[in-house]
Every structure is written in C-alpha cells, then in structure tokens.
Amino acid sequence: MAHMTVPHRRAGAQQRAMCLALIGSLALAACSSSAASTRPGASTPPTASNAPGASAPAPVGSGSTTSQTATDWGRIWDSLPAGFPTIAGSTPSEEAAVGPASAILVVDGGAAKTIATSLQTQLEAAGYTTTALGGPLEDGTYTLDMTGSPTGCMLQVTALPTGGLTTITIQYGAACPHD
C-alpha cells in the first residue's frame, strides 16, 4: 500500500503545478491593454523601479506615501485604500503570500465562491464593473476581475480554498485611487 502512495503524491504535486501554471495564465489573460501599457515590456527594460516585485513610491501628487510594486499582472498598490470593502471574518496573512499583492487575507472556512461574489456585490455598489468572475478551477479557486474609475483602474481578487481556510489575494491596480 505504501508503494501506491508515492505515485499518488507525485501526481498530486504535478496537478498542483499544473493548477498554478493555469492560474498564472488566467491572470495574464485577464490583463487588458491598459494594464499592459503600465507593465514593463520588451521596449522598456526592467530597472530597479519597474522590475516585477520592485517597490517604488507612489507617483508625485498622488497624496499617498504608500508604495507600488510591478508584478506580472501589472503595477499594483502595496496596500488597499482605507475605504476598500471588507470581507467578513478575514484577517491579514503574510504566511499565505505567494507573490506581491495589495492584500492577502484568510477566512476560517468560508466558501471561495461566496467570498468572491460578496466582494463583487460590494465593489459594484462602489462603482466598479465586473469584467470576469471565473471558477471554480480544479483546486476550487474563484477569480474576480473588475475595472473602475479612472480609466485603467483594475483589480483582481483570487479566493483559494486550502484545507479549513480560504486565502484571498487582492491585486489593486496602480491606476486606481488610493488614499
């Protein structure tokens, strides 16, 4: 019986790797042309301030001292604005981080779809427009993509169930207003 668990674990690891690759592909596909214009590209070689994962201060005149980070998804704020809708029962979590994000939260239990649709409703009431709500993926993940004002403001929320927790990763685009 022990002999059979090794291939099962290896298959599980392969499935997780495939899921992560699929999630990354979906995140890239969700980017619009306005996000692409803010990302470093072939014509803009990465520098200390625009390389993925690099932090930089907010643009001059933004009224904020919060920094921004360039990611594969696009440039994001390193935190959420004070008025961003809350997710009931969520707490911040650095342990769940798998890359740059504006916020990483966990909810004990919680259904990924319920969390994504609840946040979608709150953000639509705040003036954002849903561009996509996808899921569930093979691992139960739901992804919510939205746009807001001004033009180019984008955000992405990923709700991933992991055991008894749901991890929520929020990428809040640098073109979006921030306090």
- pLDDT tens digit sequence for 46-90: 333 333 443 333 333 344 457 999 999 999 999 999 999 999 899
In a domain, 101, yes or no: yes
pLDDT one-digit tens code per residue, 102-117 = 999 999 987 999 999 9
In a domain, 130, yes or no: yes
Domain that holds residue 135: 2-36+59-172
Residue 6 above 80 pLDDT? no
Largest interatomic CA distance in the chain: 65
Residue 95 above 90 pLDDT? no
In a domain, 51, yes or no: no
Question: DSSP string of 38-55?
Answer: TS--TTS---TTTSBT-E
In a domain, 178, yes or no: no
pLDDT of residue 66: 77
In a domain, 88, yes or no: yes
Look at residue 158 and give its three-state secondary structure. strand
pTM of the model: 0.65
Q: How far apart are CA 165 and CA 162, in angstroms?
A: 5
pLDDT of residue 94: 79
In a domain, 54, yes or no: no
pLDDT of residue 65: 54
How far, rounded to the nearest angstrom, does the alpha carbon of residue 56 sit from its chain's CA centroid? 19
pLDDT of residue 96: 75
pLDDT one-digit tens code per residue, 105-151 = 999 987 999 999 999 999 999 999 999 999 999 999 999 999 999 99
pLDDT of residue 92: 94
Give me the number of domains the chain comprises. 1
In a domain, 99, yes or no: yes
The residue among 119 and 3 whose pLDDT is bigger is 119
In a domain, 49, yes or no: no
